[in-house]
Each structure stands twice: as structure tokens, then as C-alpha cells.
Amino acid sequence: MRRDSDQSYMVLKISSEAERICSLRQKQVESARKYVVDFYGTLTTQLGAGILMEYCPGGSLAQLLEERAPFSLGECVTALAPIAQTLSALHASGQVHGDVSASNVLLTAEGMPKLGDFQEARIASDQSVGSGTPGFMAPEVAACQIESRVGEQDVYSLGACLWFLLEGTAPPEPGQRPPITVIFPQIPTLIHELMLDSLHLDPRQRPTAEQFARTLFAAAQAEPIDWQHCTPTDSTHLMATVHPEVKSKHARVKLRKVKGPKKPSSAAQSHWQEHELHQTPGRSKVYLTVVGGISLIVVSILGVNLMGDQRNSTKAENTEPAVPVEDCRIQDAAVVPACAFSADVVIANFLKLSGERDAALEAKNIKALARIYPPASEQLERDKQMLDSLAELELGLSGLNTTLEDISIMARAHPDTVILSATSTQEAYDYINAKDQVVHRAASGAHERIQVELKLVEGQWKIGKLLGRGA
């Protein structure tokens, strides 16, 4: 449907249980609204009561798989990790979805996943047996068994969705499945274990939805979902433009932001604090793997090994401009002095900003971070998301330091932009808990050649976009 007042698109779903679903759904999404299809209200029609909902022009994951190859692991992280965290929030508040499947995960115009179809949703205290979608439904549902732990059947469905996205078909019946290492020889062992545990016949051996999300985040870096040429023709014009990554190491790459789900409500959060993550076979490694896996998140969200300089005396030497600052003061926005763009001044400012950024991230100082970026910076939002992710795990960073070598100016875009090239190396750093105890040490990263944009904003250099990276 399209509303005349603002020409916005909506979906009208006719349902004989519209009122019950709406009231239940309102309660369910209090702490997990971001990755759930928006609900606008009810409408009476000639065919009965209907629900007005958000229109997701990207269609469902199932529809997407009909038109393209199976997902990469990075795309699976984007598609399912936020859904798993959303389900975790629902389970923490005593709710279950009841019909998680690839057909019920929809894509917005920006390629963001949203969970829909709450027809089978219910509260955990409701002892009625639900149903589901064949291929994604837990075996005990067909046997009319009641859940012993909230959400264990949703977790089975998550595991089936992961299998479906990686293989292109739903998992076979338990007794007919080939060895998972034969079906998926290229994926990490951690994902093998995650699917085996999630699809376990014994519901008590399955991980929680929160464990499922953390393990996915730990296993791979999130990637934008490639929907090009796969969406319905009549909705393609509503989708955001996709800029596919070019393999050339000097190519300009547009980073797409993959947002994490909204933090749970205080009630849901307190529920998590009172209950430890359940132990399941193969899950003893999850905590350390998650902590170690945040290295991937840090690498991607920090801007892919962008900043840093040698601490102590080396940093002090590098940050001294070769040209007096007074001589490069910008008096008129229309007249930028040449010395402001000299290689020594630009590189010195880049190193200075790098050190300030590292210190701000360790101190979790958002205001200090904001001072090193231009207004409305996507990189600042990524830094905030990374700090939020660490805060949810009650972790911090210590010893964060990235060295930059062979720095050179690739191009100048008059009047306010310079593009730098540098070899970046992430040094080893620690994850620490609230008591400043080291819980994991991340090893040094590999060398990468990066291209970074620096911008002059009101006479001050600011870190702009990451334009490219390569070996």
C-alpha cells in the first residue's frame, strides 16, 4: 500500500488474530525494536482486521537466495547476528518468536535485516505447542514437546537459517545429514560447532541466542549483503545504492555501516546479569573466542588499522610540525596557505590525531573522539558502536597502538582535503575487565597499505574516510 499523505509504502497483512498479535508484539519489541519490522497499527477492511506494517523492499532472505548464490560468512554475520541478539532480548523478557526462518527475515532499503511474522509468537508461560516453517522448525515442535528453556526452539531455527544461507537449502533431517565438515569445508571450526550445537536434537545442548550472536561476531567480519539484481523489479528503485568492493589495492572502497541492535531495556539487562551463559558442548571456548574475535570487530569498526604512532619519546618527536604552526594559520576560508598542505605538516597532524584517537578509545572518551573527526563522521559512529559493544561485554582496551610507516601524500583536493597513503600495523593490545584484569591479549596484526582522507575543518585537520586497503 502507499499512503496518500506522504507517499510512504506500507504492508497490510490480513489476520483473524490481528488484535492478539499486535498486543503481544508491542510487548515483545520494547527492548528489541530496531531489528523488528515496524508496526503502525490496525485497520478494518472488507476481508477482516489487518495489521499495518513497515514495507521492506529488499524482500526476504529466502527470496534473495532464489536469485543468487549462497551467502558468504561475512554476509551471514550481517543477516543473522542482529536477529539473534534481538531474539535474545525477547527471550530475556519471557517471549519467543516461534517461527524464525529465512522467509521471515526481511531486508530494508539499506540492506538491514528485520524480523517479521509474529503469528506464532507467544509468552514462555503459555504451554501451548507452537508450529513453524518446515526445514527451520525444531524436531521437538513436531513431537508436541514443550520448551524446557525459553527460546531453545528459536535457536534451532537460527542454526537452520545459518545452514540455509551458507548452503542454499534448509538442513536435512537429523538422521540424513552428511558430516558438516564435508558440506562446509571452507568455514571455520567455530561455525561448524555453532551449527552442530544449534541443531542438536537435545534442546538442552543448544546455545542461547546471545551465545549464537557472539559466536557469529567472533567468527568473521560483517559484510554488506549483496542484493543487486535480486530484488523484485517493482521495488528496486527503493533500495539504497550498493558500491561493491573492488579488489584492486588502490581502489576506492566505500565502507558500509552495519549497526548493532539497540541495547536491551533495564529489565532485560538485569535478567542477563542474573543468569550466566549456559554451558553447551563446544561452548567452553566461546568467551575467549568472542573476546579474541572482537579483534575483527575492532579492526573493522576502528577503521581497519587506521591510526596510531609510537608512544613516549617517539610520539613526541613525530608530532612536532616541521613548519611553524603560526605560519600556516588559515585567515580566510577562501585562501588556504600553501604551507598548510606541506607534507611535513599534514603527516605530523595525522600522527597527532592518531595518538589522540588511541588514547580516547582507551579512555572511552566520546567527546575526545568527536574532536578528531569532521561533523557527521561515519567513522565516529563506528567508534561509538565499538565502544558500545565492549561496554555490553564489560570490557575495555589497553595498550591500543597502531604504527604508521612510509606515509606519503597521494593527492590534494583543493581547498580542504588531502589523501594519505601509509603502511599500518596494529600492535598487540589487551582486553581488560572492570577490575583492570587482562582477560585476553590480541596478537599484533599484519601489515596493510591504507589510503586515508584528511580534511581541513575551520583551520584544523580532521580524520576523514578510509578510502582503501590492501596487502
pTM of the predicted model as reported, rounded to 2 decimal places: 0.52
364: containing domain? 285-470
Please enumerate in sequence order all residues whose Cβ is within 8 A of that of 252, keeping only pairs 6 or more positions apart, or say none. 246, 451, 467, 468
Q: Per-residue pLDDT tens for 392-437?
A: 888 888 988 888 888 887 766 555 788 888 898 888 888 888 888 8
Both 192 and 308 in one domain: the answer is no
Around Cβ 187, how many Cβ atoms within 10 Å? 20
In this structure, the answer to whether residues 209 and 300 fall within a common structural domain is: no
Query: Residue 171: inside a domain, yes or no?
Result: yes
Q: Do 301 and 214 belong together in one domain?
A: no
pLDDT in tens, 248-285: 333 333 333 334 444 444 433 333 333 333 444 444 44
C-alpha 114/C-alpha 294 separation (Å) is 24
**Section 364-392 average pLDDT:** 88
Please check whether residue 338 lies inside any domain of the structure. Answer: yes
pLDDT at 24: 57
Mean of the pLDDT values across residues 459-466? 86
Are 398 and 298 found together in one domain? yes
Residue scoring higher pLDDT (17 or 409): 409
Q: Are residues 234 and 346 in the same domain?
A: no
On the question of pLDDT at 121 being above 80, the answer is: no
Cell numbers for 79: 543477516
Of the residues 238, 269, 293, the one at which a domain ends = 238
Which CATH number covers residue 115?
1.10.510.10
Residues 158 and 221 occupy one common structural domain? yes
Strands (E), 72-145: 95-96, 105-107, 113-115, 122-123
What pLDDT is attached to residue 313? 37
Domain annotation covers residue 243: no
230 found inside a domain: yes
Q: Is residue 20 a part of any domain in this protein?
A: no
- Number of domains composing the chain: 2
C-alpha cell at 331: 585567515
Same domain, 108 and 207: yes
| Chain segment 24-47, per-residue pLDDT in tens | 555 555 556 788 888 887 888 888
Q: Supply the pLDDT for residue 14.
A: 81
Q: Are residues 193 and 301 in the same domain?
A: no
Residue 259 covered by a domain: no
The pLDDT-based confidence of 20 (bands split at 50, 70, 90) is: low
In the numeric block, which cell numbers belong to residue 12? 497490510
71-102: per-residue pLDDT in tens? Answer: 999 999 999 999 999 999 888 888 888 889 99
pLDDT higher than threshold 70 for residue 142: yes
Domain final residue, candidates 223, 238, 253: 238
> 352-370 pLDDT, tens per residue?
898 898 889 989 999 999 9
CATH number of the domain residue 375 falls in: 3.10.450.50
Residue 45 burial (C-beta neighbours within 10 Å; 0-12, 13-18, 19+): exposed
- In this structure, is residue 263 part of a structural domain? no
- Whole-number average pLDDT of the chain: 75
DSSP string, 383-394: HHHHHHHHHHTT
CA–CA distance, 105 with 37 (Å, rounded to integer): 9
Instruction: Evaluate if residue 58 carries a pLDDT over 70.
Output: yes
Q: How far apart are alpha carbons 40 and 54 in whole angstroms?
A: 7
Q: Measure the CA–CA gap between 226 and 238, rounded to whole angstroms.
A: 15
Last-in-domain residue among 238, 273, 308: 238
CB 153 within 8 A of CB 118: no
Tell me if 227 is assigned to some domain: yes
Instruction: Decide which of 446 and 233 is more confident.
Output: 446
Residues 169 and 312 in one domain: no
Same domain, 231 and 312: no
